[in-house]
């Protein structure tokens, strides 16, 4: 059975998981990091070529300051802690989003690891940070419009590949499977262009409880589905 080439995950439910236990939302995020480690390991074992994690949305800046600080601290700590594992497992780190809006320490650590893993040939792990799909598309339209005005791009030759080339994800294939945890069934401004033909998988499980078995079950469910891309079953 075919394994999805590109899996993207909206890692939702850290805060609610903690609140249900009478604990702080920050504690939920700390436990969410453990799930990230397990799922990256499982995805690599299953030979997933591209794994994209929605780690911090552009809307998340609106959250309480102490929660944002916790998320940024955890990001730096995790990058430092996992660097050797990324190298040892031949995983290439990538990022998408408004990276320049991140704190300097986060940007520095992120860029260092991206640089040091760029020659790895295994799975590409992409972190979506300060990311919003509407902003991504808006920025692409602005860049393309300027190039049309400057006669760098000719409208006679315009197709969707030109839009792809101006997105954060220009070096990534489209998403095959989108997973969202926590029971919510919405996209939340995540990879709107790239999930046009993706299979969607929603689970009630909160992210800190999302296990390697849960991930494998999502892959199995994907393999049961018939991806027609507008065709009929008989045409496949």
DSSP codes, the chain = -PPPSEEEEE---HHHHHHHTT--HHHHHHHHHHHHHHHHHHHHHTT-SEEEEEEEEGGGGGS-HHHHHHHHHHHHHHHHHHHHHHHHTTPEEEEES-GGGS-HHHHHHHHHHHHHHTT--S-EEEEEEEE-HHHHHHHHHHHHHHHHHTTSS-GGG--HHHHHTTSTTTTSPPPSEEEE-TT-----SSSTTTTTT-EEEE-SS-GGG--HHHHHHHHHHHHHS---TTS-GGG-
Tens-digit pLDDT profile for residues 165-175? 999 999 999 99
Residue 181 forms part of a structural domain: yes
* pTM of the predicted structure, to 2 decimals: 0.94
Residue 192 forms part of a structural domain: yes
Domain count for the chain, please give it: 1
Residue 57 forms part of a structural domain: yes
Look up the CATH number of the domain holding residue 212.
Answer: 3.40.1180.10
What is the domain extent for residue 86? 6-131+174-225
Residue 141 forms part of a structural domain: no
Tens-digit pLDDT profile for residues 183-194? 999 999 999 999
pLDDT score recorded for residue 234: 62
pLDDT score recorded for residue 233: 65
Question: Residues 60, 89, 120, 139: which is the catalytic one?
Answer: 60
Please say if the pLDDT value at position 106 is more than 70. Answer: yes
Please say if the pLDDT value at position 182 is more than 70. Answer: yes
pLDDT score recorded for residue 89: 96
Residue 188 forms part of a structural domain: yes
Residue 1 forms part of a structural domain: no
Query: At 50, phi and psi to the nearest 5?
Result: -135, 125
Q: What is the average pLDDT across 95-120?
A: 96
Question: Residues 12, 31, 94, 176: which is the catalytic one?
Answer: 12
Tens-digit pLDDT profile for residues 210-236? 999 999 999 999 999 987 666 666 656
Among this protein's residues, is 12 annotated catalytic? yes
Share of the chain above pLDDT 70, in %: 96
Which band of pLDDT confidence, cut at 50, 70 and 90, is reported for residue 1? low
pLDDT score recorded for residue 139: 97
pLDDT score recorded for residue 174: 97
Residue 54 forms part of a structural domain: yes
Residue 120 forms part of a structural domain: yes
């Amino acid at each position: 059975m075919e394994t999805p080439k590109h899996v993207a995950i909206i890692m939702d439910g850290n805060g609610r998981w903690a609140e249900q236990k009478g604990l702080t939302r920050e504690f939920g995020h700390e436990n969410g990091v453990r799930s990230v480690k397990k799922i990256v390991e499982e995805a690599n074992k299953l030979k997933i070529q591209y794994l994209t994690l929605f780690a911090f949305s552009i809307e998340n800046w609106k959250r309480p300051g102490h929660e944002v600080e916790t998320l940024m601290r955890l990001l730096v700590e995790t990058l430092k802690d996992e660097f050797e594992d990324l190298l040892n497992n031949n995983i290439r780190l990538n990022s998408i989003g408004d990276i320049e809006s991140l704190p300097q320490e986060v940007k520095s650590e992120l860029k260092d690891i991206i640089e040091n893993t760029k020659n790895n040939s295994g799975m590409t792990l992409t972190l979506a940070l300060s990311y919003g799909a509407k902003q991504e598309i808006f920025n692409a339209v602005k860049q393309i419009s300027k190039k049309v005005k400057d006669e760098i791009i000719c409208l006679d030759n315009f197709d969707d590949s030109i839009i792809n080339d101006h997105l954060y994800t220009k070096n990534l294939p489209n998403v095959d499977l989108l997973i969202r945890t926590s029971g919510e069934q919405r996209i939340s401004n995540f990879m709107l262009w790239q999930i046009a033909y993706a299979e969607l998988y929603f689970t009630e499980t909160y992210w800190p409880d999302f296990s390697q078995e849960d991930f494998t079950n999502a892959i199995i469910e994907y393999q049961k589905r018939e991806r027609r891309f507008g065709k009929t079953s008989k045409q496949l």
